[in-house]
A and B are shown apart, each in its own frame.
Chain A
């Protein structure tokens, strides 16, 4: 009887200490959680408002860009009437990528994430550069990646560890991107080179690849060119 009492007292004491401790921790956590929740909701509200204002700014900038392009085009049409000059100018603009072009070509769709796609390493900038190089080798006349026209000074680089920049514009989206590469040229040659050189390794890596022959429209390069350091050697012939 005395023995049992002693045991009960010991166990009860230990249990009481643990309960006390837990109550203390719980109260503290609750206080912490309350302040944390407050800060959290404040931050979330801030992020939301910043995102909203940025989205609005984005929309406005796009509208302005459209208007500017319209005005510039109307100026050009009004002022240059010589068909020979227009043809030459168009040829040059197709070369420098500042005019949208249409023609027979290919559409290459690559998915490195999503349902039923199990990829260890997502597509990287080396892959994209290699595909562009192969398309150039196959004689592609115009190329774009997710709406970004490939021009002479295009760089394809990573920003941070998840965003791919083409022409300094982010083309990848958080949570998975479908990469869409368009090219104009000899369809048979383009398909042949892509199939033999590029598609197999991508498929082996587990990506979903889709190549179709199509009439494609490739957008113009919108970055603009600036030559701050380079000067022309001789006056051009035009």
Chain B
């Protein structure tokens, strides 16, 4: 009886030890497996970023090549100067533009305000988010209520009105964007546009999109006066 019991206990102990050992081996193998996956996943986004950067650089270089070719082709100093001045003034938004595009009209609600008052009016965040989406969609020129948007244009809420280019703008807001109509329309397919549609249903604000066949126009901006900045060579 006694030796038999000892053998039994010994056998069971041995078996349990073996089970424990194999479990540890299995768990270890599993974790190692996962760690390798992590390393790989971490390096992928930086790869994509690098690729995007390269694409952008290629495009920039193409533009520079184009500019260089133009410079080489220009006949004489005077022609070169006037051509450059004209291009720069177009790029600086100092020339009115016309072309195909889309028009967005946003207006406050005229309904009686029963819910949160904020949902019945057009906020400056809506304008800046829409404009950002339109630039991202390849817009070439944008004006809000005939104020051309430049590198210095603020869209700032000052209580009852929105300040744009230092002027007071009241609703309705007419956003005119020139560019490829299809691209501009699809650039608007984001959450805010849908949210504004919801607010139109619920609170009666106006959210209208027009894609006219005839060309739209945006006015020229005023030349910005520089007091502090000086041009320098990049190096």
Partner-B contacts on A (CB < 8 A):
1, 4-5, 7-8, 11-12, 15-16, 18-19, 22-23, 25-26, 29-30, 33, 36-37, 40, 43-44, 47, 50-51, 54-55, 57-58, 61-62, 64-65, 68-69, 71-73, 75-76, 79-82, 85, 88-105, 125-126, 129, 133-134, 136-137, 140-142, 150-157, 159-160, 162-163, 168-170, 173-174, 184-186, 217-220, 222-238
Contacts and interface: CB of A to CB of B under 8 A. Distances in A.
Interface string B171-193: 00000001110000000000000
A102 B19 contact: no
Contacts of B86: 235-236, 238
Contacts of A168: 56
A103 B151 contact: no
A58 B54 CA distance: 6
Q: Which 9 A-B pairs have the closest CB atoms?
A: A224-B63, A15-B15, A96-B91, A92-B88, A95-B92, A155-B136, A22-B22, A233-B96, A8-B8
A173 B42 CA distance: 12
A92 B223 CA distance: 8
B26 interface: yes
Contacts of B26: 22, 25-26, 29
Given A65-B64, A69-B64, A229-B180, A91 B223 contact: yes
A72 to B, nearest CB: 5
Contact of B91 (A15, A33, A225): A225
B47 A51 contact: yes
Nearest to B20: A22
Contact of B36 (A7, A18, A37, A170): A37
Contact of A79 (B47, B80, B223): B80
Interface string B134-176: 0110011100000001111111100000010000000000000
A136 B1 CA distance: 95
Given A19-B18, A26-B26, A47-B40, A101 B231 contact: yes
B68 interface: yes
A128 B152 CA distance: 15
A141 B40 contact: no
Given A229-B178, A233-B95, A133 B156 contact: yes
Interface of B: 1, 4-5, 7-8, 11-12, 15-16, 18-19, 22-23, 25-26, 29-30, 32-33, 36-37, 39-40, 42-54, 56-61, 63-68, 71-72, 74, 77, 80-82, 84-86, 88-101, 125, 128-129, 132-133, 135-136, 139-141, 149-156, 163, 178-180, 217-218, 223-224, 226-234
B128 A217 contact: no
Given A168-B56, A225-B91, A141 B99 contact: no
Contacts of B29: 26, 29-30, 33
B140 A222 contact: no
B231 A99 contact: yes
Contact of B153 (A22, A80, A152): A152
A90 to B, nearest CB: 5
Given A44-B39, A151-B151, A4 B52 contact: no
B233 to A, nearest CB: 7
A136 B61 contact: no
Contacts of A104: 228
B68 A36 contact: no
Given A11-B15, A92-B89, 15 more contacts: A15-B11, A25-B22, A26-B29, A51-B46, A68-B61, A75-B72, A80-B77, A85-B85, A95-B223, A101-B230, A173-B49, A218-B229, A223-B63, A234-B96, A236-B85
Given A94-B229, A225-B91, A26 B179 contact: no
A47 B85 contact: no
Nearest to B98: A233
Contacts of B230: 101-103
B136 A133 contact: no
Contact of A81 (B30, B32, B77, B140): B77
Contacts of A152: 93, 149-151, 153
B135 A155 contact: yes
Max count, chain B CB within 10 A of own CB: residue among A104, A163, A232: A232
A61 B229 contact: no
A1 B100 CA distance: 100
7 contacts: A22-B19, A26-B22, A47-B47, A65-B60, A101-B229, A229-B99, A229-B179
